[in-house]
Structure 1
């Protein structure tokens, strides 16, 4: 026989379960559940921010490298034109570094190197078109004086020359013939600003505003002289001192190529470095030494190790934006 109270019991049980379910739905999440959710959200936010931070750093570093690469390409491209049109004759003068003495004296050029030579490229000239020759005096240097322009910047000088005999004015003027009336065509005598790292000249242009170190050396040709073989070698002197009788540039006849090494700083990072810090770092970057640097790339490697040295005096955030570059400019055989 069915208990008459059973329907009432079933109704009460159903009402109790319904009330509990409604109360749980109205109550929402517990405090523990909220804390766990917030902790998971915080971990996700930290992880995402780290991803964006890493991406930003990589992008910034890549942009800095691209800026330095663009500067190096522009400088090397300009040098390539100057070297390709260089007048390579024994009767013209060159201002190039040499580790031993020559007719004009020893010119080791410690620190940043300088160079000056005659080249068949356009240059600044006050002469009329009828008197201007296709030859210019070209010079490259790192400026080391406030009087000469911005400090620690690579500069290029291009002075157009007149046709020989077009004017009686010698090299002391703003332009002059390739060979002066006195017969003295030495660049150091007639174009003092072209051989100086500090003398001001309005014709110097800022060719590499982010280049703060310049060094170059020579790759000598392999030659067979009177049955004696002289293999190709890197040298700090623009003639082969191993061959008897060779003691001058002589149109660079012994030089197969000129190797130029430069150091570049990113323009944004340069704001973090003082001129004094940059000059001190440049002094610590070694000159070319043929006794220890026998192959192209050795000098660049030494410079890069100095840049990566924690004790180089440059803020770590800026050291990563310093880069070194090297290019070999092949020369055709001299006339």
Structure 2
């Protein structure tokens, strides 16, 4: 039965698609959960879709994804693999490649060129390429990122509950971050590092919850036996810790969007830089949408997938309007 269903889906896609070298209804740049969720909903709407994925997911170092209803604890790579299977089951195309340029043609279509030399044409483009984490410049952080160097308590808090946690201060939100992580462990130390000293109110809250503030810059994260063992200050003093919490700056990958006139702006809460768009992902530039962390810097896996689905519905509605207008013009000829 499943084989027959997949055959029918493939036949539908062939009937409504364009085939190799043709123009897809939608090109999705980025094959994480946001891009795949969008692609799944679009192919189910009988749209021809090509997903172009560089296969470098941001959360690849993490062993598990958490907070994703019915998939809690699943590997991020497992989620992507399952998503690819579902999209392909409805006739969607997924190709590996790194898109280096997106250009609007005179007829309104988009031409996407990959580093590998491939060219894809599409009527609409959805960019779901995620973001880049800008870490504090401290040796040891990058090597342990996604394991015992973490940033999100909702993603990693349960796994590091009741452990000796060190919060690495790198901005004005460091004290709030330490207070948040206190929910998961009674042993939290705030290393001031480059963050401003807590003000009187923050200091009183930290002290009331038993959070120690250690002044001075951090020189390195100590690592031994494939795990974080502590924090070494510039003074040489070492504080044993089991895991490190950081507050990276998030920067949405917007290089492809800049030449199209899509605006990237600073986040109002100081989280970093994101692409300015409507909640549907519409950028204000006709034919161009964004989803996932490109749109929402704070989105987790579940929220990213939801934003892809939302964008898909908006894109399909836009294509429906375009199809109707084209049909009217065709009859008038």
Give the structure-2-normalised TM-score: 0.25
User: Higher Cα Rg: structure 1 or 2?
Assistant: 1
Q: Which has the higher contact order (CA 8 A, sep 6+)?
A: 2
Give the structure-1-normalised TM-score: 0.25
